[in-house]
C-alpha cells in the first residue's frame, strides 16, 4: 500500500486487499508435520489456479500449484525456518503480487500456518475491493491540480459521505432516543438494505424500481419485525440496557455472517449505473448518480425532520425521547412510537445502504465499516438528538475527506474516531446535546 | 466420518494455545466487566499491545523476549490510561463506543503503511519471537496422549500458559475477596454509594481496567511467542466479542467462570466445526461448501451470545444476584 500515502482519494481506487480474512486465530492443530496453506484470490474475488509455490526447509524443496479453487497446501517435513517462493511467471497475465518481497519470504513454521498473498492488477483504475477502506466518493481531481480544486472536490466528497452517515445516524439516534438502546447492529441494517435491493435487482427489477421497494421492504422486515419479535419481548422481560447492548452485538455477528454465508465475500454491483462518467462542474467532478442520490437524501432528511417537528406521531416521538414515563402518562402509546421509530430507522438505513451500494459496492461487511463512523457522528452531534445526528454526520463526513489533505488516506477513519474521543473529553454531551449528567 | 479425529481436535482446541489466549482475555474482562461493571469492548486492543510489543521489540529492535515482556505490560498500562481518562467518568454506552473505537484505531495504526518499517503493515511481523522462551523448554520430545498431541514447542507453551492462568486465577481470587475487590463490586452495584463512603470510584475503575488489560496483554505475549507471528487483522473487534461470549458462558463475576467458559466454548465450537467439515466432505450437506464452515461458526457464536444474554445472563455457573447489571 505504498501509493496510499498520496493525499488524494484516488488511492481508494487502487486495488487493495484481495483477501478478507475470517480472522479468528483458529485451529493451528498440532502435528509433527505442519503445513503451510493459503488461497490466491484475484482482486475481483475469483480464485487463481495454477500458481506455483515452492517451500524449502533444510535444503529440501517441495512444490505445488494452486488448485481450481485457488488454494494450496504444502505439508512440511518438520518445523523450522522455511523459505517460501512464488513463481510470479505462473500468475495470470495482468496480475501481480501486491507487496514487494512477497514472491520470496522466509518464515518460521512451528505449527500450521496460513500464508497471505495479496494480488493486484497493478492498474490504478481497478474498483476498490471490499474492505479496502472507509466509504468515500470515488471521484478525485487529477493529481497536481491546485489546492483549492482539491479542497473543493474533497468538500463535495465529504458532503456526499456525510449524507450517507446522516441517513444511518438518524435512525441510530432515534432508536437510542426512544429506547435508550445503543444499537451495535445498526450497520447490518445498512447491509441488509443494500442486499435486499441487490436481490430484487438480480431478479430483474431495474434498480430505480428495486431501490424504493427494497427500502420499504427493509423497513418492514428488518425494522418493524426486529422490534416486534426481538426487542418488544425483551422490553417486556425488562432486560437491562447493558444486556441489550450485548444482544445487539450478538445479532450483528449473526446477521453479518449470515449475509457472508448466503452471498459470499466478494463485492457486488447493481446491474445498472455501475460505472458512470463524472460530470465536471467547475473544479469538481461528481457522477450523476451521486448527485441525484445526494439530492434525494437531503429531501428525505428534511421530510423526516419536518415530520418529527409537525406531525402528531413525530411530536409523540420527541416526547418519548424526552421522558418515556411522562409521555406514557399523557396517553402516548410508547410501544407504537418505538415501533414507528424502528421501522423508520431501518428504512433510512436501507436507503443509506443502497446509496453506498450505488456509489461503491455491495459487500457483506459494508455496514459494519460505517458503524463506528456513525457512532462518531452521533457522539459528536449529541447522542439522542435529531439535529445533532445530522450536524455531526456532515462534520464527520467533511472531516474524514478533508483530513486526507494532511494525513494518509488509509488513516482518515482514525482521525474521525480520534476526534470523537477528544469531544468526549471536552464536551461529553456533544455539540447540540443538552448538558446532562452522562457519567 | 472420522469421529475420533473430531473428538481429538475438540479436546486439543479446548485446552490449546488459542483457548489459553481467550481464557486470559476473558479473565481480564471478568475483572473489568464482571467485578467492576466496566463494559470494555476493546479488550482485543490489549491483546494486540502484548503481541505487538513482543514482535516489535524482538524483531524490529533486536531486543530479547525478557525486555519485550515489561514493554508489553507498560504498553497495556498506558493503553488503559488513554482509554480510561476520557471515558471512565462516562456512562456505560459511551465507554463501550470509545473502547471499540480505540481498538479499531489501534488496528488501523498497526496496519498503516507509514509505520510498516517497524510494525510490518498489513502482513504484520513473522519471525521467531520466543527464542529465549523455547530455549528453556525442558520437554524431551513431542507430547502425545490418545486425544491430545502437540509438538514439543506447543506443549511447552500450553503448559506454561495454563500455569499462568492458574496463577492469575489465584490472584483474582485473592483480589476480589480483599477490601479492594469489595469496593470494586460496590462500584458495580452503586457507584454513588461507594463515592459517598469516601472511595475514589474513578481510581478503582482505572485500576480494574489496567489489571484486566495487563491480563489480556499477557495473553497477547503468549500468542506471539507461540505463533511467531502477529498480524493486525487478527485483532478485530470480534475477538473481544468471542471473549465476552466465553465470559458470559462460564458466568461473569465468577472466579473460574472464564476458565470453564473457555474449555466449553472451544470444545463445542471446534466439535461443531470439525463435525460440519467432515459432514460436508462426506457429502451429507450438498448445499454447503467447506469454506462456509467459518461463517457458520461465527453465526453460532452470535446466536450463543444472544441466547445467553436473554435466557441465562448469569451463564452456566454464575449467580444471578452477582449480575444485576441494569443501570446506565
Using one digit for the tens of pLDDT, what is the confidence trace for A271-330? Answer: 888 777 778 887 888 888 889 999 999 999 999 999 999 999 999 998 998 888 899 999
Within 388-417 of A, beta carbons closer than 8 Å to B belong to: 408, 410-411, 413-414, 417
3-class SS of residue B150? strand
User: Average of pLDDT values for B131-137?
Assistant: 87
Of B217, B239, B209, nearest in space to B80 by CA: B209
Banded model confidence at residue A143, pLDDT cuts 50, 70, 90: low
Q: Where are the beta strands (DSSP E) in chain B?
A: 125-126, 143-145, 148-150, 229-230
Q: What is the pLDDT of residue A99?
A: 61
Average pLDDT over residues A352-381: 92
pLDDT, greater one: A360 or A85: A360
Confidence grade of residue B150 (pLDDT, cut at 50, 70, 90): confident
Q: Is A307 left (phi over 0), alpha (psi -120 to 50) or beta?
A: alpha
Query: Which of A113, A250, A260 has the highest number of chain B CBs within 10 A, making it the mutation to test binding with B?
Result: A250
Give the pLDDT confidence of B95-109 residue by residue, as tens digits: 888 899 999 999 999
| In the predicted structure, residue A216 carries a pLDDT above the cut 60 | yes
- Chain A: nearest CA to B188, how far in angstroms? 12
A68-95: average pLDDT: 74
Phi, psi of B111 (to 5 degrees): -95, 5
Q: Give yes or no for residue A109 having a pLDDT over 70.
A: no
Residue B148 β-bridge partners: B145
Identity of the highest mean pLDDT range in A76-85, B164-173, B270-279? B164-173
Q: Which three cell numbers stand for residue B25?
A: 482475555
Q: A117 falls in which pLDDT band (50, 70, 90)? A: confident
pLDDT of residue A110: 59
Q: Is B148 helix (H, G, I), strand (E, B) or coil?
A: strand
Degrees to nearest 5, angle at CA A129 with A155 and A154: 5
Q: Are B287 and B220 in contact (CB under 8 A)?
A: no
pLDDT at A140 over 80: no
B176/B166 Cα distance (integer angstroms): 15
Q: Which residues pair with B144 in a beta bridge?
A: B149
* 3-state class (DSSP) for residue A47: strand
How far, CA to CA in Å, does A49 sit from each of A56, A105, A248?
A: 21, 21, 40
Round to whole Å and give the CA distance between A140 and A157: 9
Judged on CB neighbours under 10 Å (0-12, 13-18, 19+), A276 is middle
Question: For the segment A412-437, what is each residue's pLDDT rounded down to a tens digit?
Answer: 889 889 888 888 878 877 777 766 54
Nearest CA among B176, B207, B181 for reference residue B194? B181
- The answer to whether A27 contacts B301, with C-beta atoms less than 8 Å apart, is no
B206 neighbors B84 (Cβ within 8 angstroms)? yes
Q: How confident is the model at residue A15 (pLDDT cuts 50, 70, 90)?
A: very low
Q: How far apart are CA A150 and CA B207, in angstroms?
A: 47
- CA A65: distance to chain centroid? 34
Grid cell 459528536 is found at A380
A-chain residues within 8 Å CB-CB of B149?
A: 30-31
Burial of B140 (0-12, 13-18, 19+ CB in 10 A): exposed
**Interatomic CA distance for residues A323 and A314, integer angstroms:** 14
Q: How many CB pairs under 8 A join A and B?
A: 223
* Least confident residue range of A9-13, A242-246, B103-107: A9-13
pLDDT band with cut points at 50, 70 and 90 for residue B168 = very high
Is the pLDDT reported for residue A384 higher than 90? no
Q: What is the ipTM of this complex?
A: 0.90
CB contact under 8 A, A372 and B101: yes
Residue A55 is predicted with a pLDDT of 80
Cα A439 from Cα A134, distance rounded (Å):
31
| Closest residue on chain B to A252 (Cα) | B302
Q: Label residue B314 by pLDDT band (50, 70, 90).
A: confident
Yes or no, beta carbons of A417 and B101 under 8 Å apart: yes
- Whether the CB of A264 is below 8 Å from some CB of chain B: the reply is no
DSSP letter for each residue of A171-202 = HHHHHHHHH----TTHHHHHHHHHHHHHHHHH
DSSP A111: S
Cell representation of residue A6: 498520496
Whether A26 has its CB under 8 Å from any CB of chain B: the answer is yes
At A48 the pLDDT is 78
Using an 8 Å CB-CB cutoff, list chain A residues near B87: 421, 424
Alpha-carbon distance of B102 to A333, in angstroms, equals 39
Which residue of chain B has the CA closest to A116? Answer: B123
**A303 interfacial to chain B (CB closer than 8 Å):** no
Look at the pTM and tell me if it is higher than 0.90.
no
Identify the sign of the CA torsion A310, A312, A317, A320: positive
Amino acid at each position: 500500500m505504498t501509493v496510499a500515502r498520496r493525499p488524494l482519494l484516488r488511492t481508494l481506487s487502487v486495488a487493495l486487499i484481495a483477501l478478507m480474512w475470517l480472522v479468528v486465530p483458529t485451529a493451528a492443530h498440532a502435528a509433527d508435520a505442519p503445513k503451510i496453506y493459503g488461497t490466491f484470490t484475484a482482486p475481483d474475488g475469483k480464485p487463481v489456479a495454477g500458481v506455483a509455490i515452492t517451500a524449502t526447509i533444510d535444503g529440501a524443496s517441495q512444490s505445488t500449484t494452486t488448485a481450481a479453487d485457488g488454494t494450496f497446501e504444502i505439508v512440511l517435513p518438520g518445523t523450522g525456518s522455511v523459505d517460501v517462493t512464488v513463481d510470479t511467471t505462473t500468475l495470470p497475465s495482468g496480475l501481480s503480487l501486491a507487496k514487494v518481497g512477497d514472491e520470496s519470504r522466509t518464515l518460521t513454521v512451528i505449527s500450521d500456518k496460513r500464508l497471505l498473498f495479496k494480488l493486484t492488477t497493478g492498474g490504478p483504475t481497478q474498483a476498490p475491493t471490499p474492505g479496502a477502506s472507509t466509504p468515500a466518493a470515488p471521484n478525485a481531481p487529477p493529481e497536481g491540480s491546485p489546492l483549492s480544486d482539491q479542497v473543493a472536490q474533497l468538500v463535495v466528497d465529504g458532503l456526499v459521505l456525510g449524507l450517507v452517515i446522516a441517513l444511518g445516524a438518524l435512525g441510530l439516534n432515534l432508536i437510542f432516543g426512544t429506547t435508550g438502546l445503543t444499537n451495535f447492529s445498526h450497520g447490518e441494517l445498512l447491509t441488509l438494505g443494500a442486499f435486499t435491493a441487490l436481490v430484487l435487482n438480480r431478479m430483474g427489477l431495474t434498480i430505480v424500481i428495486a431501490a424504493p421497494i427494497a427500502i420499504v421492504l427493509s423497513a418492514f422486515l428488518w425494522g418493524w419485525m426486529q422490534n416486534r419479535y426481538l426487542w418488544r419481548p425483551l422490553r417486556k422481560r425488562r432486560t437491562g440496557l447493558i444486556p441489550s447492548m450485548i444482544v445487539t452485538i450478538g445479532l450483528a455477528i449473526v446477521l453479518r455472517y449470515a449475509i457472508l454465508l448466503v452471498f459470499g465475500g466478494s463485492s457486488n454491483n447493481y446491474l445498472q449505473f455501475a460505472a458512470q462518467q463524472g460530470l465536471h462542474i467547475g473544479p469538481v467532478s461528481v457522477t450523476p448518480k451521486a448527485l441525484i442520490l445526494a439530492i434525494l437524501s437531503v429531501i428525505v432528511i428534511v421530510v423526516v425532520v419536518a415530520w418529527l417537528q409537525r406531525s402528531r406521531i413525530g411530536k409523540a416521538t420527541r416526547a418519548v425521547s424526552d421522558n418515556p414515563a411522562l409521555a406514557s402518562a399523557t396517553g402516548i402509546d410508547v410501544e407504537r412510537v418505538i415501533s414507528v421509530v424502528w421501522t423508520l430507522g431501518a428504512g433510512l438505513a436501507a436507503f443509506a445502504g443502497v446509496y453506498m451500494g450505488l456509489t461503491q459496492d455491495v459487500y457483506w461487511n459494508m455496514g459494519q465499516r460505517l458503524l463506528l463512523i456513525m457512532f462518531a457522528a452521533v457522539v459528536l452531534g449529541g447522542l439522542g438528538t435529531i439535529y445533532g445526528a445530522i450536524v455531526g454526520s456532515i462534520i464527520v463526513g467533511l472531516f474524514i475527506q478533508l483530513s486526507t489533505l494532511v494525513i494518509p488516506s488509509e488513516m482518515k477513519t482514525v482521525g474521525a474516531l480520534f476526534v470523537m474521543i477528544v469531544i468526549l473529553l471536552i464536551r461529553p454531551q456533544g455539540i447540540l446535546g443538552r448538558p446532562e449528567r452522562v457519567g | 466420518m472420522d469421529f475420533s479425529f473430531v473428538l481429538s481436535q475438540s479436546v486439543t482446541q479446548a485446552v490449546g494455545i488459542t483457548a489459553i489466549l481467550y481464557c486470559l482475555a476473558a479473565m481480564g474482562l471478568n475483572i473489568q466487566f464482571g467485578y467492576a461493571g466496566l463494559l470494555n469492548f476493546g479488550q482485543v486492543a490489549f491483546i494486540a499491545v502484548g503481541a505487538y510489543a513482543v514482535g516489535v521489540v524482538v524483531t524490529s529492535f533486536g531486543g530479547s523476549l525478557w525486555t519485550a515482556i515489561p514493554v508489553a505490560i507498560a504498553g497495556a498500562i498506558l493503553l488503559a490510561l488513554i482509554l480510561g481518562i476520557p471515558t471512565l467518568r462516562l456512562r456505560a454506552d459511551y465507554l463501550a463506543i470509545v473502547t471499540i473505537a480505540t481498538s479499531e484505531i489501534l488496528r488501523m495504526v498497526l496496519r498503516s503503511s507509514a509505520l510498516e518499517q517497524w510494525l510490518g503493515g498489513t502482513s504484520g511481523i513473522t519471525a521467531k519471537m520466543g527464542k529465549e522462551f523455547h530455549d528453556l523448554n525442558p520437554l524431551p520430545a513431542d507430547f502425545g496422549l490418545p486425544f491430545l498431541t502437540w509438538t514439543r514447542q506447543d506443549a511447552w507453551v500450553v503448559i506454561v500458559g495454563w500455569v499462568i492462568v492458574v496463577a492469575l486465577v489465584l490472584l483474582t481470587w485473592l483480589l476480589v475477596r480483599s477490601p479492594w475487590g469489595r469496593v470494586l463490586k460496590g462500584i458495580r452495584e452503586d457507584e454513588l454509594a461507594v463515592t459517598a463512603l469516601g472511595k475514589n470510584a474513578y481510581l478503582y475503575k482505572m485500576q480494574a481496567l489496567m489489571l484486566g488489560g495487563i491480563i489480556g496483554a499477557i495473553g497477547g505475549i503468549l500468542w506471539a511467542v507461540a505463533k511467531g507471528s502477529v498480524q493486525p487483522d487478527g485483532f478485530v473487534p470480534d475477538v473481544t466479542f468471542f471473549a465476552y461470549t466465553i465470559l458470559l458462558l462460564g458466568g461473569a463475576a465468577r472466579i473460574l467462570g472464564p476458565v470453564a467458559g473457555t474449555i466449553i466454548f472451544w470444545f463445542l465450537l471446534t466439535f461443531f466445526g470439525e463435525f460440519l467439515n467432515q459432514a460436508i466432505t462426506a457429502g451429507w450437506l450438498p448445499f454447503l461448501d467447506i469454506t462456509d464452515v467459518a461463517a457458520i461458526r461465527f453465526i453460532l457464536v452470535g446466536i450463543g451470545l444472544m441466547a445467553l444474554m436473554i435466557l441465562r445472563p448469569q451463564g452456566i455457573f454464575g449467580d444471578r444476584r452477582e449480575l444485576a447489571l441494569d443501570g446506565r
